[in-house]
Amino acid sequence: MEVNKENLEDALNDGQQPQISKEEEIGYHKGSLSTLINERNELIKMAQVVESLMQAHMKRLEELGVKIQQQKK
């Protein structure tokens, strides 16, 4: 899903203007950012756990004599 960052309100509300006060809208966007920051942090933690597990498996395979070739990104 691609979000139009230039006009977030249109992207989220199908072009309909919300009927809320400026303070409520500010609170809504701050709350959204807080939630998204927490979600991003959890995603980073998950990626770190996956990487750690991959490293442990590669280390054990090398101990067992299996050569691991790193793929270039």
Domain borders along the chain are 8-63
pLDDT at position 13 is: 65
Region 20-38: what's the mean pLDDT?
95
pLDDT at position 54 is: 95
CB burial class (10 A; 0-12, 13-18, 19+) of residue 3? exposed
Cα(57)–Cα(71) distance, integer angstroms = 16
Please name the residue that has the structure tokens 């203007």.
17
Q: Which residue has the higher pLDDT, 39 or 71?
A: 39
CB atoms within 10 A of CB 12: 14
Please name the residue that has the structure tokens 């996956």.
50
- Position 30 pLDDT exceeds 90: yes
Please name the residue that has the structure tokens 């139009």.
4
